[in-house]
Structure 1
Amino acid sequence: MDWHRHIASATHRIADHVVRTPTLTVQSFGLAYPVELKLEQLQHTGSFKPRGAFNTLLSQPVPEAGVVAASGGNHGAAVAYAARSLGHAAKIFVPEIAGETKIALIRATGAELEVVPGTYANALEAAQDWEMQTGAMQIHAYDAPATVAGQGTLFAEWESQGLEADTVLVAVGGGGLIAGALGWLQGRRKVIAVEPATACALKSALMAGHPTNVEVGGIAANALGARRIGEICFELAQDMRAPSVIVPDAAIEAAQHALWRDHRLLVEPAGATALAALMSGAYLPTRGEKVAVLLCGGNIDPEPLSDPATQLDVSFT
């Protein structure tokens, strides 16, 4: 598949619907070298997910039954936001572990929401049942070409903003985001997958030689808690020999606090996971290697400033 062409098309397709999020180069966090940051937690609904949602909705006909999605929280909010902005009905299934902030964010869009017991895998089963019953269009959180191409626009945008890094660190759950990175960068820069020790579907698949089910838990499970890595991500990671490094929950929490302490950047655990690899030493750059970190989400639970239901502007004009 010509990922570069598909991502370039997606970039033009969604340009009027997403935020061109800022970048920042800092020398902080106790590190002896500068780090380029991409502040994607400033995207609509607080994560990169609207890129894939808008690309999917704008690249194919949407049935009268609308759309359906399963999500740990961020994807559901993005699909609900994109669907409403384009005039489509949306039904979102999330697991209980999504947390109050993300659940309230989805409800604020006016989408129909169902909270199911268990994990993301249970929400996906419910969403697939709804698709079969109603004919709604399924928007997969990570393992669909239109989703991956949409997420890849982030890296096309970052390069257009002057990305200098040799190496980009990306947090991984189901793999849609890093698949977009690999599809766009095509080996021109090294891409490092960073996974929590308590939810490492990509690492397990690379070790086994094929996607396999893993146990899911930990502080980032409501964003990085896919039980099985996506086929698209696995194939790209295997073909390009993308390494995966593992970080413990304590390192993720330390990175989350460091981002707030040093730069007043408020991110959820998933958003701090890539930085945790540098701070903990799970990934050690070589001398002179330029590194970049993607901050992928900011829907911290509980949200510290106010009622989370007020945090999404759902007025469309």
Structure 2
Amino acid sequence: MNSSSSVYKVAFIGCGKRAHEHAIGVQTDSRLKVVALSDISAASAETLNNEFGFQASIYTDHKEMLEKEKPDVVLICLWTPLHLPVFRDCAEAGAKAVLCEKPMSATWGECQEMGKIADEFGCQLTFSLQRRFAKGNQTVRRFIKEGRIGQVLRLDLYSPPNLLDCGIHTFDQAISYMDETPAKTVLGAVDTTEIYNWFNVPSECGATGQILFANGVQASLYSGSIDTWEPSQDMTKIWAGVRVIGTEGFIEVMWDGQIVKGINYDDPSWKPEMELSSMSDQMIGYVRHAIDCLESGEEPEASHQKATRASEIIFAVYESVRRNARVELPLTGVTDSPFITMLNDGQFAK
């Protein structure tokens, strides 16, 4: 933070679509002043600059930008394989906080490495798990704490393909509902009928599995095209989100906090209202909270520690496929992406 003012100097690395969504959150926080934009396409940086009126300096080399501008806060909006090396550059350049696009990284070892760098340099690292700031998700967390559905017994987890890029939202949503309880064991399978490639990382087209959390809650995982599941009419409404089943009822919630249904067995009149949150609302909450925590020293709601817990489940699913066995967590002895290793070894050849 600049000693002469209460404003943080902000820089973007990567100025594509997601940068525009992050910029909405940055623009509404008076503590933040965007001083620099970096992208290998100067035109992309200019577009972002003009759309938000940042009047920032434009760079095509992020290392040059970090050296000259010395930003306090950096937003990394790049493809997945670039997250680790660019975050390392930011931490070494003295950035106090980095808000990075999810997922963390393409391999489990790199996810852990990002956390180690953050801790070593004292750089606050968060990932854009902005759905934690959706009004409906905040309400569901409150309902669960109040015991509206009794003691949580089981979770049904739904995600579009693929686990690395989409499943992280579902796992993070589930973990947040259980007061950050980590997973204990994972048993998984993947569908490789098609191989997708999102942000330069190959992935499965579907997955399923069983997860046991440390608090004893059992979870079933469904990931992929919902048309192939032949689910009941109610289940078709949840293609991305969580069904929480308790001793006294259940609640069904989409990713962005849309409550599809809530039932209390003893109180049929209980009907939780739908609370809609736009992506803009969520990004505003995410950015503001990250800066609040930078000032207070508290762990952010979307901290790298929390992103790591969700990421661990993803790589444990892949490792379970490799071992043909249930995997105990914490996940040790794994640094690669088991899925990518098996794919490269021809294990999924038709």
Instruction: Tell me the TM-score range normalised by the shorter chain.
Output: 0.3 to 0.5
TM norm structure 2 = 0.32
Kindly indicate which of the two structures has a greater share of residues assigned to helix: 1
Kindly indicate which of the two structures has a greater share of residues assigned to strand: 2
TM norm structure 1 = 0.35
